[in-house]
Amino acid sequence: MTGVVGARDLARRLEDGSVLVVDCRSEQEYDAGHLPGAVHLPVGSWPYYDTTPGSLARFAADVTDRLRAAGVDRDRPVVCYESTAGYYAAFAAWTLSYLGVAETAILDGGLTGWLRESLPVTGDVDPPVPSGFDARVDPRALATADDVAARLYDPGVTIVDVRSRKERTGVLRRSARTGWIPGSIHIPWYESLSVHQFEPVDVLRAHFAAHGLTADGEVVTYCQAGWRAAHTLVALRRAGFVRVRTYLGSWSEWGNRADLPVETA
């Protein structure tokens, strides 16, 4: 399960070496200074695939190779971070969880929060020791286009569109079609943040409750390509939601498939 960890808590865990820290920023940012012992795993270079079985298999195989090279093990906790509590780190943590890493989290506040606590950074790079990472996909973490299409009118499932208002209304077009998945509600991903870190748990619970979400229901999040959707999934988990999945294909897939229904303003 993917969670959130504070800078001080992570610093204590780094002392005993029980956790692997993954830096999801660019190579230039990583080289300029990173958390001690952090390995570099830039999420921005990860491939995007649709959610057909063949594409998901290729996605899992490609990322698995990257995780092996970075020294990731399924049984060792992993904390992902970037400059703030952003969606690159969230997507990395979600993907690792989807591929079977038992415990994943993102650093609340990212490097900004770490430095705010006067914690150390380094430019030293210790080459990672490759692992024998063996992916074990958790289907409970991911929703496919078929999953979403089959549950469009299911009262037990809420589909949450976390894109910007301009994307949802079509002012900003990023796929062949504009609009949104029928019946989905709109909760922009950034509303879960306060400055550079997540809102407190009680604030998040009230925020999602105001949109009609209850922790006993099932939620599917989507955006354009899954990154921001993963961020909202982390926020929902932080607020106590257990049955949450990310639609990896998101609008990049749904908005480009003429066979899938859309709603527009």
Query: How long is the chain?
Result: 265
- My answer on whether 10 and 125 are in the same domain is yes
**By three-state DSSP, how is residue 34 classified?**
strand
> Considering Cα of 217, then 141, then 97, then 70, what sign does the dihedral take?
negative
Residue 45 has pLDDT above 90, yes or no: no
| SS3 call for 57 | helix
The model's pLDDT over 185-239, given as tens digits with 9 standing for 90+, comes to 999 999 999 988 999 999 999 999 999 999 989 999 999 999 999 999 999 999 9
End-to-end CA distance of the chain: 36
Element (H, E) at 39: strand 39-40
Residue 262 belongs to some domain of the structure: no
The pLDDT of residue 67 is: 96
128 and 187 inside one domain: no
- CA 36 from centre of chain: 23
DSSP string covering 213-230: --TTSEEEEE-SSSHHHH
**Residue 260 domain flag:** no
- 13-24 CB burial, b ≥16 within 10 A, e <16: ebeeeebbbbbb
Model pLDDT, residue 83: 96
Q: Are residues 32 and 147 in the same domain?
A: no
* 94 and 181, same domain (yes or no): no
Q: Kindly state the helix (H) or strand (E) to which residue 113 belongs, with its residue range.
A: helix 110-116
- 50 and 87 co-located in one domain: yes
Q: Are strands 20-23 and 78-81 parallel, antiparallel or unpaired?
A: parallel
- pLDDT computed for residue 195 by the predictor: 85
241/64 Cα distance (integer angstroms): 27
Domain termination residue (choose one: 95, 110, 137): 137
10 vs 80: CA distance, rounded Å: 11
Average pLDDT rounded to a whole number, residues 139-145 = 95
Q: Residue 166 sits in which domain range? A: 140-254
pLDDT higher than threshold 90 for residue 169: yes
CA 175 from chain centre, in angstroms, equals 21
* CATH of residue 31: 3.40.250.10
Measure the CA–CA gap between 107 and 85, rounded to whole angstroms: 7
DSSP 10: H
Q: Is the same domain home to 35 and 80?
A: yes
**1: confidence class by pLDDT, cuts 50, 70, 90:** low
Q: Are residues 128 and 7 in the same domain?
A: yes
Can you tell me which residue has the tokens 């078929």?
146
Task: Tell me how far CA of residue 1 lies from CA of 21, 33, 140, in angstroms.
Answer: 16, 28, 11
CA 206 to chain centre: 21
Mean pLDDT, the chain, integer: 95
167 and 208 together in one domain: yes
How far does CA 245 lie from the centroid of its chain? Answer: 10
